Amino acid sequence: GVCLLAFAQKPTPPGGARLHPPAARPPPPTPRRPQDGADGVAWIAPGQMAAVRGFKLPGGMLYIGSGPGLSKNGDEPALINPVLPMSAVAPDHDLPYWPSYGDIAPSHRWAYLTWLADGRQDASVPIGYVFLFMYGLERRVLVDMSENASLMSELPHIRSEMRRLLRIYGHQSGSFQSYASALLEVIDFRLAERDREDDLGSAPPPLAESTWSVPLSLRIGLGQLAASGTPVPAEWALAWGWFHPDIDLRTPATRCTDEFACLFAIRYAEKFGEGLVIRPGKSRIRHTYRPASASLPSIEIEPDGTRDVFEQKAAGRKLAALIDSVTDELDAYSRWIGRNPGSSRSLAASALLPAALLAEPGGDVSKLRDWAMRHLERADPAGAPGQALLALWSPDQPDKLSKGESVLLAQLLEHLGVGIEPDVRFGGASLTSADKAVLFRIKAEAPHTATSAYGAAMTLVHLAAAVGSADGQISRAEVKQLGDHVASSLRLTPAEITRLYAHLMWLSGVDIKLTGLKKRLDTLTKPQRRHIGDVLVTVAAADGIISADEVATLRKIFRLLDLDPETLASRLSPSRTTPDQAPAERPIIVRDVGAQEPGYPIPPRQVEERQPQPATPVVFRLDDTTLQRIESETAAVSLLLVDIFDEDQERFVPPRPVTPGDNGTSRVDNAPDCGSDRPIRGLDLPHTRLLRALAERDQWEAAAFEALATKHHVLPDGAIDTINELALDAVEEPVIEGDETLTINAYAMQELLK
């Protein structure tokens, strides 16, 4: 059993708790528990109906009667005295700050009883009426139940009523929210003390919007976990961090609380296993409760045998670091929800969630995953109809995704272990319902954006495919063969090679428009076209062998470039067109200079014929200097080719070639002059120049921004991510916002340019 000693000194039972006034306060008035009929005062039990002057009051939990009241020093403010006058007119002034039924005006009594008769749910009434009702609940919990423990069976009913009132009136009055929440803490504590076998550690207090005070049940629960040496469960650790005075909760935690709690539990288990084990503290838990009712003094609750561990420094730092990390992971998702209310379950929003939160079965994400896997079970890579994919993405079934939606779709598929072509992050076009997308499996470490080498490779392969479709004579095998050489010469990673072949498969299924291709190529100077031809030959010959099929493809490209195909012979002369032994790069030592040592005579030649031995395969390796030259030259050529395709294709623009400077550092050839060449900390020089150029306007149209990014030799989408990530780390706000029209955040821009 438990006894909360209120306002009188009685022995504290073993294992119980003491509830007493603070030493600094004057002695409280001596309370008197109402006895039905003794003083004409009755407590109406929860759920019972009462009648007062023609009003039927449902729900109970009221003090009704007349007489000296419940306290020797004055009436209970919540006591409804039926003999007091009432007036059925609208009140002509406000309730006093501490209302008492015996002191308020007759018109206020009429309004109060009307509110009670309507079920205590009219949200428009003055908050003083709600406080007046709450005063009676405080006395029942703090006074009556301290004198008679059997009354504690009413606690669940009182708790339920207080939570209902808090939902209705908590947002209307911060004062009521504070007092009601504090009373609920005491009720929860008394319930846990009554049912001690529940151990108080089974469920933490709910996460509240207001974190200015620490729930008593949280302090006690953590203290009990520490005393028993039990690891702190994830839900208790989250509540600990949530209410910790030294941990600031940012918007993602409060805006996306469900996702935040789920991700916190995942990361908490990854980092701490079963949970943090904390040591018992030295200080005792002391909790002060200040009643809303003026008739009750402040009291202190001191659970016996439980130590306070809430503000342990080491554990607090660990929780703060974990909460910051989880907040960062949810930041993009939170911003999306803030800009698009009601879209938290859309696929676009899911694309911004960490992959760990996408494992739950059911929902649109599972439908997309199952749809993709059915295609990949048949083949990898596999073609998939764009119309079906867009129907899954959006119920509106748009004919074409915007660039932003295309990025989100690719990102969501990536979380599911699936790559897609075309992918705007790698220079592809936005998907349309008429297209046939290509899906392929990817690993978690696959790149998210195109490198300069990949961008150059894709541009050259795209040119080869465009040339082939011009006369219908080039085969997919020829394009793939060129892709093999490009991948080898540019040292693409396995993940990039997988994506390049998926892109080749997509190219083979689309109609590459050549309208104006020859005309746009004619805008290139003769030296530029010769340079393109030279690089294509260099790439084709990168592995030391040029097949007849490759020569045929090169001849077609030369004709399109208005270069003489007959000059191929001279261009190819340093390269081998057959798989013979590679020529030696240095003199071969046949025999060391000097006198011959005596040896054995050479045996006579055998007459019988021997079977020809297979030639030893030649391993061809390019030295680093050659590879760097090929990559640099190919990147430069891709800049010349980037604008020759159809205007609707959103192409990747690789960086300008980087060459060693005189002092051993790197420089960018012919880079545009955008003010100071000193990079901003956290950005390379091209992104620094782009950022400074963006500061010239408050808004940029998407096309103008892409042109500016092209001018500075960076990928548009990648540049936005790079710059915004730096800004979010520095000032917790992005620099660039929007989709079709990009808005520049002046504050964030100013902070980065300091």
DSSP character for 80?
B
Give the H or E element holding residue 51: strand 50-52
At residue 139, what are phi and psi to the nearest 5 degrees?
Answer: -65, -40
Count of other CB atoms within 10 angstroms of residue 99: 21
Spatial separation of the C-alpha atoms in residues 218 and 226, rounded to whole Å:
12
Q: What is 356-380 written as a DSSP string?
A: GGG-SSSHHHHHHHHHHHHHHHH-S
Dihedral over alpha carbons 730, 732, 735, 740 (to 10 degrees): 150
Q: Which residue has the tokens 């272990």?
A: 417
Number of CB atoms found within 10 A of residue 185's CB: 21
Could you tell me where the DSSP H helices lie in 251-306? 251-255, 257-272
**How many of the other CB atoms lie within 10 Å of CB of 747?**
11
Answer for the pair 344, 388: CB distance below 8 angstroms, yes or no: no
- The parts of the chain modelled with pLDDT lower than 70 are 1-39, 67-75, 194-202, 209-211, 304-305, 360-362, 397, 466-483, 485-486, 488-490, 511-521, 523-524, 539-545, 549, 573-678
Q: What one-letter code names the amino acid at 326?
A: V
Distance CA 159, CA 591 (A): 101
Range 450-485 burial, b when 16+ CB lie within 10 A, else e: bbbbbbbbbbbbbbbbbbbbbeeebeeebbbbbbeb
Residue 127: the pLDDT is 93
**Which run of H or E residues covers position 666?**
strand 666-668
Is the CB of residue 107 less than 8 Å from the CB of residue 131?
no
- End-to-end CA distance of the chain: give it in Å, rounded: 66
Apex CA 343: angle with CA 341 and CA 345, to 5°?
140
Q: For residue 659, give the 3-state DSSP assignment.
A: strand
